[in-house]
Amino acid sequence: MKVDTVWRNARLATMANGDLGIVEQGAVACVGGIIAYAGPADDAPAFDAARSIDCEQRWITPGLIDCHTHLVFAGDRAREFELRLAGASYEEIARAGGGILSTMKATRAASHDELIAGALPRLDALIAEGVTTVEVKSGYGLTIQSERAMLRAARQLAGERQVEVVTTFLGAHALPPEFAGDPDGYITLVCDVMLPMVAEEGLADAVDVFCEGIGFSADQTSRVFAAAAACGLPMKVHAEQLSNQQGAALAARHHALSADHLEHVDAAGIAAMAASGTVATLLPGAFYFTRETMLPPVAALRDARVPIAIATDCNPGTSPLTSPLLAMNMAATLFRLTVDECLRGMTVNAARALGRQAEIGTLEAGKRCDLAIWNVGHPAELVYRMGFNPLHARIWSGQ
Ligand code: DI6
Ligand code: FE
C-alpha cells in the first residue's frame, strides 16, 4: 500500500469499540492527511511509505479535542478572583456588573489583531498538550458587530496554527447593559438579527445558550434553539451549572449536540439526554475554580449510557484553564470518572459533542490523521500526573 507516512513500533489507544481500543504492537499509516490504516502491525499491508517513523514503543492516541472553550476574549478577571477569595460569590459579582460584563467591555474595545494576539498563547498551551481540534465560542461581544468580530477572530486562529477550530455562537451568554431589564428584547435581537447574520456569513458551526438564573430562562433558551434550527445550525447548552433550569431536558428535546456543566441535572434531564444522544460535557475546571460543591451525577449519567465528554471551558471568569491533561485529572479526581472515561472524554466523545465523530476522535481508517504520541508507560499516566506534559509529538492532518 503506497502511503505518505507510517508510524510503526507503536502502542495504540485507538478509542474505537467503546473502550481504549488498545493495540500493543500497532502501526498507523496515512495518505493525504487521512488515516489509511490503524491496527496491529502483523495485520498491516506491506507499506510503500515515503516516510517511516519508528515510535520506539511510544503510545499513540487520537489528537485531543477540547470541545468547550471561550478561548477568544480580552482582558482578565484576576482582580475578581481576589474578590472571590475574599468571599464574594460568582453570582454576586455577576449581579454587581462584574463577571462576563467586565470581559465584555474589554472584548468590545479590542481590535481583531488584539483578539488574535490574546487567544494565541492560550491556543498554544492547548496545542502543546496534543490538542488538534478546539471549539471556540463567542459571547463576550453581545452586539452584532462584536459577536461577529469574536467569531471572525476564532475562525482566523485556524489560519495561525495547524489546528481545527470549530466555532459556536453564544450571543445568549449574558444580558448586555443596552438591554438591562429586557432579556426578552435581547433574545429577540439574538434570534431575529444576530443568528441569521452568523448563519448567513458562515461564522458559526453551532449555537449555545447560558441557561441559568444569572443567564437566560428555559423559555428564552427555547426561542434561541428554535431560531438556530430555522438557520440549520446545531445546538449546545450551558445547563444546570448553578441551579436546575431544566436546560438539559430542553436541549435533549431539540436533539442538541451537548449539554454542558450539568452539576445540577436531574433524572429527567439525564433520561432525556440518553434518549436523544445528547453528550454530557463535564467541565471540572469551572467546578474546581468556583469551589462548587454539587458534583455532576456521573454514576447516573454512566448508568443511562449518556456519552461523557470533558473540556477545559477555558474562560477568564470560572475556568482560566488551558491544560486538557489537568482537566482529565480533575475529572477523575473530583468527579470520579475512570481513566478510560477521561481519555474517551477528550477524544471520541468530545468529537461527538461537536458533531464531528465521523471525521475525528478515534484512530480508524477514514478519520483525519490527528495523532498525539506520548512518552508514557501506559495511557493512564495521561490522567494520573498533574502539571507534567509527556507529549512527544503532535500530528495534525498527517503533518
Ligand atoms: N458559564 C461559565 O462558567 C462561563 N460562562 C458560562 O455560561 C463563565 C464565563 C465568565 O465568567 O466569563
Ligand atoms: Fe463555558
Rounded-to-integer distance, Cα 220 and Cα 95, Å: 19
Among protein residues, the one whose CA lies closest to atom 4 of ligand 1: 318
Identify residue 142 by its one-letter amino acid code. L
Q: How confident is the model at residue 25 (pLDDT cuts 50, 70, 90)?
A: very high
226: pLDDT strictly greater than 80: yes
Rg (CA), the chain: 21
Neighbours of 48 (CB within 10 A): 10
State the closest ligand 1 atom to the C-alpha of 73, by its place in the atom list counted from 1: 12
- Rounded to an integer, the average pLDDT of 242-249 is 97
State the closest ligand 1 atom to the C-alpha of 170, by its place in the atom list counted from 1: 7
97: pLDDT strictly greater than 80: no
| Distance from Cα 259 to the centre of ligand 2, integer Å | 11
Task: List Cβ neighbours of 262 (8 Å cut-off, separation of 6 or more).
Answer: 239, 240, 241, 248, 269, 280, 281, 282, 296, 297, 301
Buried b (16+ CB within 10 A) or exposed e, 62-101: bbbbbbbbbbbbbbebeebeeebeeeeebeebbeeebbbb
Rounded-to-integer distance, Cα 68 and Cα 309, Å: 10
The CA angle 288-172-323, to the nearest 5 degrees, is 30
Rounded-to-integer distance, Cα 279 and Cα 281, Å: 6
Q: How confident is the model at residue 90 (pLDDT cuts 50, 70, 90)?
A: confident
Task: List the one residue out of 102, 9, 98 whose CA is nearest residue 57.
Answer: 9
| Distance from Cα 260 to the centre of ligand 1, integer Å | 11
So what's the pLDDT on residue 166? 98
Q: How confident is the model at residue 94 (pLDDT cuts 50, 70, 90)?
A: confident
What's the mean per-residue pLDDT of the chain? 97
125: pLDDT strictly greater than 80: yes
Share of the chain above pLDDT 70, in %: 100
Ligand 1 in contact with 210 (CB < 6 A)? yes
C-alpha distances out from residue 324 to 114, 179, 319, 378, Å: 25, 36, 12, 17
- Rounded to an integer, the average pLDDT of 132-145 is 98
- Rounded to an integer, the average pLDDT of 218-245 is 98
Q: How confident is the model at residue 296 (pLDDT cuts 50, 70, 90)?
A: very high
8 A C-beta contact, residue 107 and residue 141? yes
Ligand 1 pocket test target in 77, 263, 318, 321 with most atoms within 8 Å of CB:
318
60: pLDDT strictly greater than 90: yes
Ligand 1 in contact with 37 (CB < 6 A)? no
Ligand 1 in contact with 168 (CB < 6 A)? no
| Distance from Cα 161 to the centre of ligand 2, integer Å | 23
